[in-house]
Amino acid sequence: MLNVTRYHGDQDKEYVGFATLPNQVHRKTVKKGFTFTLMVAGETGLGKSTLINSLFLTDLYRDRKVPNAEERIGQTVDIIKHTIGIEEKGIKLRLSIIDTPGFGDAVNNTASWKHVEDYIDQQFEQYFRDESGLNRKNIQDNRVHCLLYFISPFGHGLRPIDVECMKALHEKVNIIPLLAKADSLTQAEVYSKKLKMRDEIKQFGINIYQFPECDSDEDEDFKRQEQILKDSIPFAVIGSNIQVDSKGRKFRGRSYPWGVVEVENPIHSDFLMLRNMLVRTHMQDLKDVTREIHYENYRAQCIQNMTRMMVQERKRSNRSATDFLLLSFQLRKMQEVLERIQEQMQQSQTGTC
């Protein structure tokens, strides 16, 4: 068979129309809408709820009840899911926020991340079941696409719980570490803490989300922006639920006796960089990595376990068939011996008569 692929130059091109393919894909996906699931973890009071509200300009935590110190001593990690629909220029996004109140709050936090890990696994399991079932067309994807992990600004780098938690989850979810409440640190402190945390992440072998490598034909400005993004990890963030009025301008910020902190000012924090990255530039990549790497790992593990179980089951049933044959053989032998004894008894009886 001859397989000819011919590319015409623009001058002698006959128009077929497949150039509209991206438009067709665009129309279809826009109609379907987009989904994204974001998880937040970190101890109570690090500003998780405030940051989520600031990121998506919502008020997700209106009915929230913060437990007191006594309640938190033996607290276990709850998993709470908030879902909101956001629409912008006709594009719909169903955003799910998975909150983990109680994380790192109890006196004994050895298994704080176990609930988080179980939750992520359950979503994979549900997807795996749905995918292998009959109604594959209408699968709801609840897999966790990204975990914003909040690190305290008051410690000296990562705490043991941060290391253990990130290590327990890094094969299952895209982790983006955040340096919380960055307005409580000076610029120099932010810089040195970031450096230390990046070193520790490397030293402890924690695989956080890796920004994709730029293609060589990408323009220089794009490459520079991507490098800045990589060098900013962990993003130093500030959140606020209130609008500040200062010098005739209104903005989300925090007002102190000595001045005002603007949440969206790139000089004050990496908040804008985080939001742009999450929403504008890397949302699809976070979903792709979840599907192609984390979910694939889970799926491969599942199939491996199932195959192992089937082999064991088959071995067991083979073994029971052999046991049955052996038993029948022994029974037959015993029967023969019995018959022979009976015959002998009969013979000896007729001999004595």
b/e 172-186 (16+ beta carbons within 10 angstroms → b): bbbbbbbbbbbbebe
Q: For residue 150, which of 180, 122, 130 has the smallest C-alpha distance?
A: 180
**How many residues lie near ligand GDP (CB under 6 A)?**
12
The dihedral through the CA atoms of 175, 68, 271, 155 has a sign that is: negative
For the bound state, the minimum distance from the C-beta of residue 5 to ligand GDP, rounded and expressed in Å, comes to 56
Contact between 190 and ligand GDP (CB under 6 A)?
no
For the bound state, the minimum distance from the C-beta of residue 44 to ligand GDP, rounded and expressed in Å, comes to 4
Q: Which is nearer to ligand GDP, 72 or 291 (CB)?
A: 72
The sheet carrying 243-246 orders its strands as 243-246, 249-256, 259-262
Find out whether 270 and 236 touch, Cβ atoms under 8 Å: yes
Q: Which is nearer to ligand GDP, 44 or 126 (CB)?
A: 44
Contact between 183 and ligand GDP (CB under 6 A)?
yes
Q: Which is nearer to ligand GDP, 184 or 312 (CB)?
A: 184
Contact between 193 and ligand GDP (CB under 6 A)?
no
Q: Which of 184, 304, 312, 320 binds ligand GDP (CB under 6 A)?
A: 184
> How far lies 50's CA from each of 35, 44, 79, 111, 232, in Å?
22, 12, 18, 26, 21
Residue 169: count other Cβ atoms within 10 Å of its Cβ.
Answer: 23
Q: Which is nearer to ligand GDP, 130 or 264 (CB)?
A: 264
Q: Which is nearer to ligand GDP, 238 or 273 (CB)?
A: 238
For the bound state, the minimum distance from the C-beta of residue 105 to ligand GDP, rounded and expressed in Å, comes to 9
Task: Return the CA Rg of the chain.
Answer: 32
CA distance 161 to 112: 9
Q: Which is nearer to ligand GDP, 49 or 75 (CB)?
A: 49
Q: Which of 36, 37, 49, 55 binds ligand GDP (CB under 6 A)?
A: 49
Residue written as tokens 């504008």? 280
Query: By Cβ distance, which residue is nearest to ligand GDP?
Result: 47
Residues within window 70-109 making contact with ligand GDP, judged by CB under 6 A: none
Residues within window 124-163 making contact with ligand GDP, judged by CB under 6 A: none
Q: Which is nearer to ligand GDP, 242 or 338 (CB)?
A: 242
Q: Which is nearer to ligand GDP, 67 or 212 (CB)?
A: 67
Q: How many helices (H) does the chain have, and how many strands (E)?
A: 10, 9
Q: Which of 143, 170, 172, 181 binds ligand GDP (CB under 6 A)?
A: 181
Site string for ligand GDP, 9-48 (x = CB under 6 A): -----------------------------------xxxxx
Pairing between β-strand 34-41 and β-strand 146-151 as defined by DSSP bridges:
parallel
- Listing DSSP states for 247-261 in one string gives TTEEEEEEEETTEEE
CA distance 76 to 253: 33
Residue 193: count other Cβ atoms within 10 Å of its Cβ.
Answer: 21
Contact between 238 and ligand GDP (CB under 6 A)?
yes
Q: Which of 102, 177, 234, 239 binds ligand GDP (CB under 6 A)?
A: 239
Q: Which window, 113-121, 164-172, 179-187, 274-282, contacts ligand GDP (CB under 6 A)?
A: 179-187
> DSSP state, 111?
T
Find out whether 152 and 45 touch, Cβ atoms under 8 Å: no
For the bound state, the minimum distance from the C-beta of residue 179 to ligand GDP, rounded and expressed in Å, comes to 10
For the bound state, the minimum distance from the C-beta of residue 238 to ligand GDP, rounded and expressed in Å, comes to 4
Find out whether 176 and 147 touch, Cβ atoms under 8 Å: yes
Q: For residue 122, which of 143, 108, 139 has the smallest C-alpha distance?
A: 143
Residues that bind ligand GDP (CB under 6 A): 44-50, 181, 183-184, 238-239
